[in-house]
Structure 1
Amino acid sequence: MATAIEAITILLTLAGLAYLLLALWGARDFGHYWMRRPKTEGFAPDVSILKPVKGVDPRMYAGLVSHCRQQYAGNFEIIFGVGSMDDPAVAEIRRLQAEFPDRAIRLVECRERLGTSGKVSNLVQMLREARYEHVLINDSDIYVSLLYLTRVMACFADASVGMVTAPYIGRTAESASGRTLWARLEALGISTDFLPGVLTARKLEHGIRFGLGSTLAMSKTALAKAGGLEPLTEYLADDYEMGERIAAAGYRVELCNEVVETTVPAYNFRGFCDHQLRWARSTRDSRKLGYVGLGITYALPWALMTCVASGFALWSFSLLSVVVLARVAVALSVGVGILRDEQVLRDLWLLPLRDFFGLYFWAWSFADDTVVWRGERFHLRNGRITRA
């Protein structure tokens, strides 16, 4: 039995090491693609930015301001959608309108509840108000650079592109009280675990067929051919579904090299677990076959288990050293090289803990179908959510 366990952990470690090498290959390919890609920043179609809001998130107002300060050659408008005019976010939007009177900023009250997902329900109603052919959807706390719209919308110069999405980093609070261990693990996972997986999928599948909620830019034409937003009102991973359906409609989904920021709350342990399990179970239902294989990607935990299973044999430490080198190389090449996330250097020592938690949440995600989203509990089956 001991020999069998040792053999299994060795195989899993080697598989994880192979994945890390693939992730490095995917990161290199992504960087080279954007260095070789022809410059098309002169293309600036008019665009409607749709931002569904509920409550006031940390750094939300700073993110809204960053959208208003865009240096963009085309016309753009920002449409906010709320479920009720009593929502606390309304005051922040009124403040934004007063600060930027020259910007086209509108607030839409979305009175209909079209499905379980209040976010998508609001988006359906907001889309009806959008003036322009191109729309861009992102969350309320997304913070962007001055050239965000210029770089994202320039991708549509290629007529085969139906959706543009963007990588992101999770920004922890600057204060010590907001920079909890769990918030730091969340941010570290986004930059060194989540995006390497995206880049590996992009390389192996010759492009991506899903969207990332940090940025979902598309034309109304492509969205209509993909079936529109209405069928997504029961889905948890609406960003994934939008991208997959637009790709299935014959369009290309482009992963832009423009990096945006989202805010990581000051999670306690329970909040961290709830969010990680929601993320894991959402991915499980969206990419069923690929998700089963996700467990082998945690090479560092498997390498440490190999050391234990081998009785701490000398060769197992050699294997562990190679895995550590590859894991750190992925973290630095993606987290620092592509995302330019300086938090990765600060928290690099937390990688083993982050990867053990990642493996734990992967295994635990198969045990149940319950997810917690904005304080509400839902059952998740085949991507659709119903109230628990």
Structure 2
Amino acid sequence: MTSHVNCLLTWLLVALCCATTLYAAVAAIAMPFFSRRSRNRNIGWASVSVLKPLCGIEPRLYENLVTFCAQAHPCFQLLFGVSSPVDPAIAVVRRLQAAYPHCDIELVVDSRVHGSNLKVSNLINMAERARHDIIVLADSDIAVEPDYLDTVTAPLADPDTGVVTCLYRAQSVGGFWPRVGAMFINEWFAPSVRVAHAGGSRRFGFGATLALRRATLDGIGGFEALKDCLADDYWLAEHARTLGLHTVLSPVMVATDVIEPTFTTLWLRELRWLRTIRSVNPPGFASLIITFTAPWLMIGAALLLSTNNADGAALHPWMALILWISTLTGTIARILLHARSARYSRSFWHDLPLVPFRDTLLALQWLAAVFGSHVVWRGARMSVVNRVTQPRTSIMEMSDRG
């Protein structure tokens, strides 16, 4: 009986090792190189209101915000919002207004709190000042290219499109831990989204960019519907999907900064991401177990090394052959994924020794994310339980109003 159980357990481990190899291979193929490419542009030059919620100073805040002032789009409004009149980000916005007097830049200082999500409270306060029918939300720590607004708003020409969102690549700002954090985004998060997208999933929405029509926002109940949600970006897109509208993944990949200087700050940030995924998609969270490539490759290698153990409990020849092929293929696929996720050739060699460490740390964070009901976001403790308000308008009602 014990021998039978051990055999089943071994086959289960082999199956998980093979599934991990398959994931790594698909992810390596699905993840594009970081290079410029032609993109769809222009929806008839519709005017755009860009909402940028701010909270405090980040190392490259001014440089990142400048990229929004340098857009090729002919008519756009930049709305920056803070909740405190002494927020240091105010000085950065004033500097932008002086440097770009031709840009329509407005600062909203409003301390009203509408729910547990302070970012959404900021958006509610800012939305009152948005003048245009196309709305783009973008996090404070991203940088974009001049054709960004043209490209991310183009799919909204299709009336069946509800939300357009963007993936992002990370650039480390600082020392060792920001490098590790950038690998979390570039070599795990972005590839996993690409794999899910290639498999037909559209259940996502990322705070780096969310573009939608004002009518869609009104149809879901405005930002007020998200005021008590931790994963506000996901739920914004999900609400639009419940109206029968599609989520489109833009070809644009914006840049985001990773600035966490210590292990503790990086752990808390990434644990927040994983617990957020668990809160909105438990089955998807469970399936992430096969995305931690290096630990499974090490388990496969350990099983192979045990074939000639002292007890004589050798692996079945077919099992050993499958493991050899899986481990070798998985190693090549993981290195290829690292290569395709590296922005510069020198970063490939620079960060290659970190790959096993990064994957193992991610596996430990996943285990930690299985438990716990709170996360830390900008120093505030928040529950991962989302109190979701359902959309108040159907797609038919939206069509009738149009």
| SS state at 2:370 partner | coil
The one-letter code matched in structure 1 to 2:52 is K
Please tell me whether residue 194 in structure 1 is matched to residue 189 in structure 2.
yes
Alignment of 1:59-208 (within 5 A): 59-72=60-73, 74-173=74-173, 178-180=174-176, 182-205=177-200, 207-208=201-202
Residue 331 of structure 1, CA deviation:
3.3
- For 2:377, the equivalent position in structure 1 comes to 373
Could you say if the C-alpha distance between residues 92 and 341 of structure 1 is closer, same or farther in structure 2, counting changes exceeding 3 Å?
farther
Counterparts of 2:131 and 2:358, CA distance in 1: 44
Residue 78 of structure 1, CA deviation:
0.5
Could you say if the C-alpha distance between residues 375 and 111 of structure 1 is closer, same or farther in structure 2, counting changes exceeding 3 Å?
closer
User: Residue 79 of structure 1 contacts residue 108 of structure 1 at CA under 8 Å; is this kept in 2?
Assistant: yes
User: Residue 25 of structure 2 contacts residue 334 of structure 2 at CA under 8 Å; is this kept in 1?
Assistant: no
| SS state at 2:194 partner | helix
The one-letter code matched in structure 2 to 1:153 is T
219, 227, 230: which one pairs with 1:233?
227
Counterparts of 2:169 and 2:297, CA distance in 1: 27
| SS state at 2:381 partner | strand
Deviations 1:266-297 (A, max 9, x none): 42111111111101100111111111111122
Residue 378 of structure 1, CA deviation:
2.5
Could you say if the C-alpha distance between residues 156 and 18 of structure 1 is closer, same or farther in structure 2, counting changes exceeding 3 Å?
same
For structure 2, which runs of at least 5 residues remain unmatched after alignment?
Answer: 308-319, 389-402
Normalising by the residue count of structure 1, what TM-score does the alignment of the two structures yield?
Answer: 0.88
- For 2:397, the equivalent position in structure 1 comes to none
| Aligned CA-pair RMSD | 2.4
Please tell me whether residue 12 in structure 1 is matched to residue 16 in structure 2.
yes
Counterparts of 2:120 and 2:138, CA distance in 1: 12
Residue 105 of structure 1, CA deviation:
0.6
Counterparts of 1:44 and 1:310, CA distance in 2: 60
Residue 11 of structure 1, CA deviation:
1.5
**Count of residues in Structure 1 that have an aligned counterpart in Structure 2:** 369
Residue 27 of structure 1, CA deviation:
4.2
| SS state at 1:377 partner | strand
Residue 150 of structure 1, CA deviation:
1.6
Residue 310 of structure 1, CA deviation:
4.0
Could you say if the C-alpha distance between residues 79 and 228 of structure 1 is closer, same or farther in structure 2, counting changes exceeding 3 Å?
same
319, 332, 335: which one pairs with 1:328?
335
Counterparts of 1:132 and 1:361, CA distance in 2: 42
User: Residue 43 of structure 1 contacts residue 153 of structure 1 at CA under 8 Å; is this kept in 2?
Assistant: no
Counterparts of 1:16 and 1:345, CA distance in 2: 23
For structure 1, which runs of at least 5 residues remain unmatched after alignment?
Answer: none
- For 2:298, the equivalent position in structure 1 comes to 304
Could you say if the C-alpha distance between residues 352 and 260 of structure 1 is closer, same or farther in structure 2, counting changes exceeding 3 Å?
same
User: Residue 61 of structure 1 contacts residue 141 of structure 1 at CA under 8 Å; is this kept in 2?
Assistant: no
